[in-house]
Structures are given as structure tokens and as C-alpha cells.
Structure 1
Amino acid sequence: MALFALTTGLQAQDSHKTILNALNKSELSATLEKVDDYTLFAPADQVFWNLPKEQFQQLFNRQDPSFLENVLRYHIVAGKLSASRLLNDLAKNKGRMSYPTLLGDRLHFKMEGLDILLVDSHGNKARITQADLSTQEDQLMHGIDGLILPPTYD
């Protein structure tokens, strides 16, 4: 039910069709069924469309389906991280914070002016552009303007 709730929420977001397709291609439903609350940081379609062709093909046409699933898991943090909670945590920690992802690695956040940025271990940054988008069954997602990659990504 958790994946259904997430994908239903994404369907309501016209700018997140590519990540919906990616979630449907993955096998995350079993994992999300075990997580009561989570927050998805969802890249907009334009993020995927702007990837170099080789990187897009590697992400979606790879022989190893776990590759796409790991990238998706890195975009999901257990627990509800509302924008106000993120801002609170960042304020208490000198503008820097990290949270564990469903992949098991930590995703780093920092303030840049008034914006909240996600920063992966490769130095890629994504800005939260749409905050606190609720999905069916009250799961939470934030729209972001970049793709963040797990540490194991080549």
C-alpha cells in the first residue's frame, strides 16, 4: 500500500512522471511496505531529461535492475522530514545535517541562502523546489531540481 500511496501522490504531480515510471520499474514496494513513514525527494522530469544520454540509459536500461533501485532508495529517507523540521534541524546544527536513506547511506543537507540543498558524496547538489507535497496516506515528498547519486555510483 505504501508504494501505491507514493505513486498516487506522484501522479497528481505533473512534473514527476519519470520518477513514477522509475518507481514502477523498481521492486521497492516490499521495502516501503515495512516503512511506516518516509520522505521522498523527487527529481522533476526535467532533471532526467537533462541527463547526458549515456547516464539516462545507464539509469533506466541497465542489465542490473538493482542499480535503478539503489538510486531510488538514496532519494528516500525514513521518517517524515517536513520543510519546517529540516529547517529546524539545520538551524540547530550550524546549517548542516544528514539523514539515513533507505539505501543505508547518509544524505547530507545544507542551507544556501534561504534554500535547502541536498548534497551527495560526489558533490552533486539538488535544491528543494517544492516542499511538503503530501501523498495519499499522508506520506511526504519534496520536489528537487537535481539527481543525487549513492556513493557506490560509478
Structure 2
Amino acid sequence: MSTTTSTGGVMVGGAMMTPDKDIVDNAGGSADHTTLVAAVKAAGLVETLKSAGPFTVFAPTNAAFDKLPAGTVNSLVTPEMKPTLTKILTYHVVPGRLMAADLKDGQVLTTVEGEQLTVMKSGSSVMLKDAKGGMATVTIPNVVSSNGVTHVVDTVLMPAK
């Protein structure tokens, strides 16, 4: 699933994610997260996610964004959709640094957006249930950055509103 090196880094999207870089700088190196990085820029959230945090980010891959209905991503990155895009992206961020071992089955996480995600664990597998009943599976856990931790997910989580 992921390979940890002696420097504590994790390979994601063909790039080494290391604890000395912030969440945005690490994500920017991943070939699997170009859509997410573009969306974060379009929403104006780069400075926020480069700040001290700490943050826990559930980071959808490009393939996760590709599961959305055709045209959704292109529509979301337009200036008039910035509030909606910001709401969706901040729904993937939880205050604090939560490693996979910290997440408990049935735990409810309040996101930066204000709504909740529910943790579902089965063995070492971690899933998140969103406000609309959608499920995302953590495919690469515990990508540590200087200002938090990222867990790669296979589905874009959607807030209720």
C-alpha cells in the first residue's frame, strides 16, 4: 500500500511525501492529486493549508474526482462556484493531527466546514461516511507533513448542504 523510508516519508503519486514539508507542498508533488491541488488553489485555500495547523486532511485522488458526474470538477473550479468548492474541500479537513490509529470505529469527526464525518473501521481498513451516506476508503494512511497528516481517500466526500 505505502512504503515508508528511513526518513519517515511515504510514497504517494510517484513522489516522496516528507514530514519537513507542509500539506500543500507534499500534495503538490503527487501525480495522483493534481485535481485536488488545482481545486485548493481555485478555492483560495493554499495559505490556510500552509499555515501551522495542525490539520488532518482526507485527500481525494484524481480518480476520486473522476467518479463525480461529468463536468462537475470543471464547474466547481469556476469563480462563481468558489463557495461550493470551498465547502466541499473544507469538508475533507478536520482540526488536529489524527493518525489512522487515533481513528476509532463509530467516531464522529467535525470538519472545518462544520458538518460531520463518521469513521468506520474494519481490521486495519479505515472508511469515512459522509453526510449524504457516501463512503470513502483510506487507501494510503498517515502521510505526515509539518502541519498535519493526510490520509489518501478514493472518493470525494460530500457535505449535506
Sort the TM-score into its range (normalised by shorter chain): 0.7 to 0.9
> For residue 76 of structure 2, what is the aligned residue in structure 1?
59
Letter in 2 for 1:120: D
Give the whole-Å Cα distance in 2 for the aligned partners of 1:46 and 1:25.
Answer: 19
Change (3 A) 1:98 1:65: same
The answer (yes or no) to whether the contact 1:37–1:79 under 8 Å persists in 2 is yes
> For residue 114 of structure 1, what is the aligned residue in structure 2?
124
Give the whole-Å Cα distance in 1 for the aligned partners of 2:101 and 2:120.
Answer: 14
Give the whole-Å Cα distance in 2 for the aligned partners of 1:143 and 1:36.
Answer: 18
The runs of at least 4 aligned residues of structure 1 exceeding 2 Å deviation read 27-36, 54-62
1:140 matched to 2:149: yes
Letter in 2 for 1:98: V
How many residues get paired?
Answer: 141
Question: 5 Å matches for 1:22-61?
Answer: 22-29=39-46, 31-32=48-49, 36-61=53-78
Gapped runs of 5+ residues in structure 1? none
SS state at 1:121 partner: coil
2:33 pairs, out of 6, 13, 16, with 16
The answer (yes or no) to whether the contact 1:128–1:145 under 8 Å persists in 2 is yes
Q: Which has the higher helix share?
A: 1
> For residue 128 of structure 1, what is the aligned residue in structure 2?
138
Shift of 1:35: 6.0
The answer (yes or no) to whether the contact 1:35–1:78 under 8 Å persists in 2 is no
Letter in 2 for 1:74: Y
TM-score (norm 1): 0.81
Using the aligned pairs only, state the percent identity: 25
Give the whole-Å Cα distance in 2 for the aligned partners of 1:35 and 1:148.
Answer: 24
> For residue 101 of structure 1, what is the aligned residue in structure 2?
111
The answer (yes or no) to whether the contact 2:96–2:148 under 8 Å persists in 1 is no
Shift of 1:61: 3.2
Give the whole-Å Cα distance in 1 for the aligned partners of 2:91 and 2:67.
Answer: 20
Question: Deviation string for 1:95-141 (max 9, x for gaps)?
Answer: 21111100111111112453111101111000000011122x24210
